[in-house]
Amino acid sequence: MNGACRIAMVLGLLTVSAAQAQTTNLYHTNRVFSPIVLTNYPNISAYRLVNMASQLTEVVGTTNIFINTNATKAVEYEGFAWGYESANAAWTSVVAVYQSYSRNHTNKIYDNAGWVRGTKEAYGSWGAYLWYLQNQISFTTSVTNVWISPHGVTNRILQVLVGSLGDYPPQTNVLDIGPTNWALITNYLGSGIATDVVYKANLDTYYELLIPDLIVMPPTNSLLMTNVFMAMSYPTRFPPTNYLFEVRRAASTNWYTITNGPSSAVTTVVAVAGTFNVRVTAWLTNAVAISTEREFVAQFPSYQEIIANTAVIQRTSQAWSNTLAATTSTGRREEGFWIQVNTQSQRYEFAATDIGPTVGPYTNASVRPRSKPSDSHLTPSPIDRPTYTIAYFHTHTPTTYRPHGRAVGPSRADSLFHNNYDVVGVVQDYSAISGGNIPSNHPIGSASQLYHSGPNRRTLPP
Ligand SMILES: [Zn+2]
């Protein structure tokens, strides 16, 4: 069938006094699809984007239905009545008989379906007429339940929106009859009144797709921080019943399950460092679809994050107190320890304390760190809960009993060590009095602080 055809109205003996309708109506609905255009989207806020995404119709098209020409036809009905005492009686007679007088137009769909009807007085009696042209369209909604975008992305078809006819599941056979505005067609219109109405079916077809999406908040985070993976799915009026959240290393194709269940959001504590891809698969009763992959970067904790941890604060201030308590007029020593994050217990942990050699007032103090503790996992999977060594802390010593002052903060050797071992350096020392120095005989209880040395955070693994 090549488009819709038109048919000339066959009115027989009757003429229509009413003016021809100027517009063609659509049956059964009068809906219009209009596209939403997103412009300038790289610069908009996340809130605005989510807000706009919620307005998306997830509708693609225009496409077409697949008409079964053998079972498609237009049916033309005609009814006449004359010689009645009243218009109402003539009309009642027409409504009773019109379906008995019909003609089939096989394999036709007409754009001027509808009706012409009325009552008319002639020679002292009443007549009535009804002409009604009806389309019977047999079609299959789609040949497949998957839509493939011009870029090769596949999506499940949730519904096939057939122009003015209605919404149907994909791959469904439908026989649609219209127009069927029965009250308008058969109700009594009045004495001496005629009307005609033209209807057509709009067969512009669109596919409504199931589109799951994923929001990673925040997209870059540090170990032991809380992260949220939130599934979004469109159209929102069809909420999925199950969500599978998965993660893979960016450099690997092996997916690991984060959660699989009815919850659309997952809150996790970041446990494995690296660059990952995350996706969500959403299920509806008749469809399943996988979201676009979103990147997630899990960093080691930064210097600021490490020194904000309460266990680190407690442990380093204890080490400083120990260092001061070990100081006498003849001797003093540094102490230090490796700092780890245990993502299983979600706590900071500390290796055993290294105590430096006790030295006299004329000798510089130092501490020799024990071997760096290995990470618990050499190549953790994205869902392991490793323990990582991320920092080394040590103290510097008072000048209270020394004959000369010194510079405060990390030494050149400290910085080399931390960089060499790829760990954050944390050094506790006195606050400077002038020019980055403290003098000889600086009171032992003077203000102290933490200093940063080496990298801001351990290097991100691949
Ligand atoms: Zn040092």
- Residue 411 alpha carbon to ligand 1 centre in Å: 5
Q: Which two tokens stand for residue 252?
A: 């690997």
| pLDDT tens-digit map of 108-127 | 999 999 999 999 998 889 99
- Residue 12 alpha carbon to ligand 1 centre in Å: 109
Q: Which two tokens stand for residue 63?
A: 């496409």
pLDDT of residue 33: 61
pLDDT of residue 154: 75
- Ranges of beta strands (E only) in 124-264 are 125-140, 146-148, 154-162, 166-168, 173-178, 194-201, 205-209, 211-217, 220-222, 226-234, 242-249, 256-261
pLDDT of residue 159: 87
386 and 416 Cβ atoms separated by less than 8 Å: no
- Residue 353 alpha carbon to ligand 1 centre in Å: 15
208 and 32 Cβ atoms separated by less than 8 Å: no
297 and 220 Cβ atoms separated by less than 8 Å: yes
CA distance linking residue 112 with residue 106, whole number of Å = 16
- Residue 129 alpha carbon to ligand 1 centre in Å: 106
- Residue 318 alpha carbon to ligand 1 centre in Å: 17
- Residue 405 alpha carbon to ligand 1 centre in Å: 15
3-state secondary structure of 47: helix
CA distance linking residue 306 with residue 452, whole number of Å = 11
- Residue 410 alpha carbon to ligand 1 centre in Å: 5
- Residue 394 alpha carbon to ligand 1 centre in Å: 7
- Residue 332 alpha carbon to ligand 1 centre in Å: 14
What is the distance of C-alpha 165 from the center of its chain? 31
Q: Beta-carbon neighbour count of residue 376 at 10 Å?
A: 16
pLDDT of residue 408: 98
- Residue 224 alpha carbon to ligand 1 centre in Å: 28
- E strand or H helix at 48, and its extent? helix 46-53
Q: Which of the residues in the chain have pLDDT under 70?
A: 1-23, 31-62, 150-151
CA distance linking residue 185 with residue 116, whole number of Å = 9
- Spell out the domains of the chain, with CATH numbers in brackets: 25-208 (no CATH), 211-299 (2.60.40.10), 303-453 (no CATH)
